[in-house]
A and B are shown apart, each in its own frame.
Chain A
Amino acid sequence: MVTAAVVNVAQFPALELAMSDWYEAVRIKPGHELPDLIDEHFDSTQARFELYLQIRDLAPNATVTVPAGSEIIGEHVLGLAAAVEVVRSDAPSTIDAAVAAALEPAVVATGFDRDVGDYVIALPTDGPVDELVLVQGPDRAWVVEAGLLDDARAGA
Chain B
Amino acid sequence: MTVVAVEVLALAVLAATGWLLVPPDRGEPWRLVVALPLGIAAHAFVELVLLVTRLPIAHPWVAAVVALVLAAVVARLRDRQVEGAPTAARRWWSRPVAVAVTVAAVAVLVTAAVPVVNVTSDTFRYLTISRLLVVDADTARMSAFLLLSRSLVVGAVHGLALPDLGYLRAIGPLVAASTLGALWLLVREGLDRLDPRTVRWVAAAAVVLMATNHRFLFHAFYVNGHLLFAAWLLLLVAVAWRRVIAGDLRTAAGDSVGADGSGMVWSGDALVAGLLAVGLTILRPEGALVAALALTPVVLEPIVPRRWRQLVLVVFGVGNLGWHLGVLAPLWDTPPSSLIGMAVLGAATVLAAGLLPALDRWRIDRGRLLIALHLLVWGAVGIMAVRDASILVGTVKSIGRNVLDQGGWGISLLVLAGLLAIALAVGRVVGERALLFPLLTFAPVAVLLNHARGGPGRVGPGDSLNRMLVHLLPLAVLVLALVADGRRRRVDGTSVAG
Which A positions have Cβ atoms within 8 angstroms of B?
A: 1-5, 7-9, 11-12, 14-16, 18-19, 22, 26-32, 34-35, 37-38, 41-42, 45-46, 49, 52, 75-76, 78-79, 97-98, 100-101, 103-108, 125-126, 149-150, 153
Contact = CB atoms under 8 A, between A and B. Distances in A.
A97 B119 CA distance: 11
Given A11-B410, A75-B146, A79-B331, A101 B115 contact: no
26 contacts: A1-B480, A2-B205, A3-B419, A7-B411, A7-B412, A8-B212, A12-B214, A15-B214, A16-B214, A22-B408, A26-B120, A28-B120, A35-B165, A46-B141, A75-B146, A78-B145, A79-B145, A98-B121, A100-B462, A105-B464, A108-B458, A125-B337, A125-B338, A125-B452, A126-B334, A149-B334
B213 interface: yes
Smallest CB-CB A-B distances: 3 pairs: A31-B117, A30-B115, A97-B121
Contact of B122 (A22, A29, A101): A101
Instruction: Name A's interface SS.
Output: helix
Nearest to A19: B408
A104 B120 contact: no
Nearest to A150: B334
A1 B143 contact: no
Interface stretch (B126-134, B260-268, B366-374): B126-134
B383 interface: no
A72 to B, nearest CB: 13
B63 to A, nearest CB: 20
Contact of A76 (B120, B146, B221, B477): B146
A116 B11 CA distance: 50
A147 to B, nearest CB: 14
A25 to B, nearest CB: 8
B119 A15 contact: no
A107 B163 contact: no
With most chain A CB atoms within 10 A of its CB, the pick from B124, B128, B167 is B124
Contact of A32 (B117, B202, B334): B117
Interface of B: 115-122, 124-125, 127-128, 131-132, 141-143, 145-146, 149, 163-167, 169, 202, 205-206, 208-209, 212-214, 221, 223, 331, 334, 336-338, 408-412, 415-416, 419, 452-456, 458, 460-464, 477, 480-481
A15 B409 CA distance: 8
Given A98-B121, A125-B453, A22 B461 contact: yes
Contacts of A42: 127-128, 131-132
Contacts of B115: 29-32
Contacts of A32: 115, 117, 169
A4 B117 contact: no
A31 B223 contact: yes
Contacts of B146: 45, 49, 75-76
B205 A22 contact: no
A79 B336 CA distance: 9
Contact of B455 (A8, A37, A52, A106): A106
A26 B462 contact: yes
Contacts of B132: 42, 45-46
